């Protein structure tokens, strides 16, 4: 039976990711006997994470308390909220609770990782309550750039905590109902201990435009380019955007093809569940595009962020097997570049333009996140005692703290957390009591966690300075040089044009070996270190370069 709220009761809130960054959202709520986890997302690698595919949260804190963990409660189906689930579930098998479309997208991920048969899943409807240990969770309808997004009212022994998830206030959504503001108001009247609110767009004044406004823009662009083949790049998960592209294509009786693995998976799932409506016979396989005149084709693809392996980037670089850009094609970028992706996007735009395509990048995107006035509206309805900003970089969290104070939250009751902080909160107090390990784990190919800071440092060194390998064969016992030193270079200089330099390098190594023999040094570790130091010193003085040097000694 659920504990009654008690003024002296406290619970712990432990964000293991998602703060001071966009992505990798995961937060644990903990009592003496129960833990629930809200979201389990991934982050995409920073520029200095060479070769890393993605970053997932470190859930050691949860693994150490595995017996208490009751379930994952998921707010919506974006990668930064569900992408790490297949990796974390391999370490600890926990039930998942989510709305219908969100669960369908999760299931397609679990299928890829052969986990579908092992993991308990429950689809939850808006207004439904689920009981997990000491917690009772209510799913509340919100709007975002993907359908079936939910806010959560988490009933705890210490009081009610409202978690908005990613949200905006959209009075004219493309699919589904408007955000349930009435329910937020009802919760506010009963009393809310803390509000954990999306901070992504808090620095932008005003309101976020409705997703439906993009549909009118598409209609205009399609009308202006009715003789051209149209290619639209957008986020795979923006189901409502795909629906509006289909609506505009339908008015001109165009056929629609889909490209990009994630786009195909999500769109097919959304069509099966009825979240996207497509007129019969309108959707065609990519291979059949050439059977129709250009003015009767729309291609919806991934790659709006300039990702090197995404479909649009491969099309722009002429390495896509099935789609070739033709002069007169119209390419619409229906997204804004995520900070850090601007150069990649510009490169793709330039490549498309060089091939004669007309590129349109303005007015075809609205955000899925609430701006200042919508956040103020939520605060005015919920009236929380404490404000705990989430989902954003540090400047966003600070910005929301300022908005919370404007809306009547006491300054001392605004709590800015960092990932790993353990917040103990109750009616009487809220304080950070400790910090737990929360660094991201890097995923490279099939390797999870085997790439760390030392490996990244080596990759950085190799990428900037190249590699030089010194190979020599020594006689066992006497340490006389029987063969070599041979020098192999990769990414440092082109050996065939630098024979004199290679000869000088060999001479430096020979001098170092003679010096070592005269001193009677037989330890291979010392020999390698001396060769490496001598060669590094010579190359720095000669060329002001610092390649990675690997001496390899063979014994005969």
Residue positions annotated with a catalytic role: 198, 369
- 125 near 52, Cβ under 8 Å? no
Task: Please state, as a whole number, how many other Cβ atoms lie within 10 Å of the Cβ of residue 100.
Answer: 14
Phi, psi angle pair for 152, to nearest 5°: -125, 130
Nearest to 416 by CA among 164, 106, 196, 208: 196
- Return the H-helix or E-strand segment holding 404: helix 394-406
Helix (H) or strand (E) holding 185: helix 181-190
Sign of CA pseudo-dihedral 5, 10, 16, 21? positive
Q: Which strands form 358-360's sheet, in the order they lie side by side?
A: 255-259, 297-301, 230-233, 330-333, 358-360
Retrieve residue 198's tokens: 């999306």
Torsion of CA 46, 56, 11, 20, to 10 degrees: 10
Length of the chain: 556
Of 191, 161, 182, nearest to 377 by C-alpha is: 182
Residues in Cβ contact with 542 at an 8 Å cutoff, skipping those fewer than 6 apart: 501, 504
* Helices (H), ranges, 300-341: 311-316
Going from the C-alpha of 513 to that of each of 202, 284, 501, 531, the distances in angstroms are: 64, 69, 19, 7
Separation of alpha carbons 531 and 529, rounded Å: 6
**Furthest C-alpha separation in the chain:** 88
Contact 260, 266 (CB under 8 A): no
Q: How far apart are CA 223 and CA 217, in angstroms?
A: 10
Instruction: Kindly state the helix (H) or strand (E) to which residue 471 belongs, with its residue range.
Output: strand 467-474
Rounded to whole angstroms, the Cα distance separating 483 from 289 reads: 62
Query: Which residues, at least 6 apart from 239, have a Cβ–Cβ distance to it below 8 Å?
Result: 101, 146, 147, 175, 266, 267, 270, 275, 276
Q: Which residue in the block uniquely carries the two structure tokens 């190249």?
A: 466
The residues, ordered by sequence, that sit 6+ positions from 198 with a Cβ below 8 Å of its Cβ are 164, 165, 166, 167, 369, 370, 375, 390, 391, 392
Centre a 10 Å sphere on the Cβ of residue 403 and count the other Cβ atoms it contains. Answer: 22
Cα separation of 55 and 48, whole Å? 13
In 218-348, the DSSP E strands lie at 230-233, 255-259, 297-301, 330-333
Sign of CA dihedral 186, 188, 191, 194: positive
């Amino acid at each position: 039976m659920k504990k009654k709220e008690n003024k002296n009761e406290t619970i712990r809130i432990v964000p293991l990711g998602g703060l001071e960054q966009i992505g990798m959202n995961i937060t644990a709520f903990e009592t003496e006997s129960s833990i629930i986890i809200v979201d389990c997302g991934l982050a995409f690698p920073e520029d200095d994470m060479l070769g890393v595919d993605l970053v997932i949260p470190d859930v050691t804190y949860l693994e150490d308390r595995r017996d208490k963990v009751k379930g994952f409660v998921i707010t919506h189906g974006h990668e930064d909220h569900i992408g790490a689930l297949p990796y974390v579930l391999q370490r600890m098998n926990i039930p998942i609770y989510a709305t219908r479309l969100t669960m369908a997208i999760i299931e397609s991920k679990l299928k890829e990782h052969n986990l579908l048969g092992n993991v308990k899943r429950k689809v939850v409807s808006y207004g439904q309550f689920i009981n997990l240990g000491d917690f009772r969770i209510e799913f509340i309808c919100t709007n975002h750039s993907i359908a079936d997004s939910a806010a959560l009212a988490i009933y705890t022994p210490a009081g009610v905590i409202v978690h908005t998830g990613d949200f905006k206030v959209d009075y004219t959504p493309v699919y589904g109902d408007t955000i349930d503001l009435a329910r937020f108001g009802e919760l506010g009247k009963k009393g809310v201990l803390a509000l954990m609110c999306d901070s992504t767009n808090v620095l932008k004044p005003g309101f976020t435009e409705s997703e439906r406004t993009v549909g009118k823009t598409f209609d205009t662009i399609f009308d202006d380019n009715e003789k051209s083949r149209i290619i639209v790049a957008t986020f795979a998960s923006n189901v409502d955007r795909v629906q509006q592209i289909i609506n505009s294509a339908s008015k001109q009786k165009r056929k629609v093809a889909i490209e990009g693995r994630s786009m195909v998976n999500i769109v097919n799932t959304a069509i099966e569940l009825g979240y996207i409506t497509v007129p019969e016979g309108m959707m065609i396989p990519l291979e059949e595009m050439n059977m129709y005149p250009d003015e009767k084709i729309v291609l919806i693809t991934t790659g709006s962020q300039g990702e090197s392996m995404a479909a649009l980037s491969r099309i722009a670089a002429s390495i896509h097997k099935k789609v070739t850009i033709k002069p007169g094609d119209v390419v619409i970028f229906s997204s804004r570049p995520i900070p850090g992706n601007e150069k990649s996007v510009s490169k793709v735009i330039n490549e498309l333009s060089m091939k004669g395509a007309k590129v349109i990048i303005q007015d075809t995107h609205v955000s899925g996140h609430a701006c200042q006035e919508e956040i103020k509206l939520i605060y005015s309805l919920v009236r929380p005692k404490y404000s705990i900003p989430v989902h954003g970089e540090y400047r966003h969290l600070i910005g929301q703290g300022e908005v919370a104070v404007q809306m009547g939250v006491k300054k001392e009751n605004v709590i800015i957390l960092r990932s790993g902080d353990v917040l103990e909160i109750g009616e009487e107090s809220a304080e950070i009591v400790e910090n737990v390990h929360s660094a991201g784990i890097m995923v490279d190919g099939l390797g999870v966690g085997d790439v760390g800071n030392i490996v990244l440092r080596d990759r950085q060194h190799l990428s900037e300075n190249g590699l030089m390998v010194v190979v020599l064969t020594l006689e066992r016992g006497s340490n006389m040089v029987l063969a070599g030193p041979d020098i192999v270079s990769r990414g440092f200089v082109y050996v065939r044009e630098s024979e004199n330099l290679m000869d000088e390098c060999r001479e430096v190594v020979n001098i170092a070996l003679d010096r070592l023999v005269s001193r009677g040094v037989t330890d291979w570790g010392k020999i390698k270190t001396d060769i490496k130091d001598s060669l590094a010193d010579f190359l720095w003085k000669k060329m002001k370069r610092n390649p990675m040097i690997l001496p390899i000694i063979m014994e005969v």
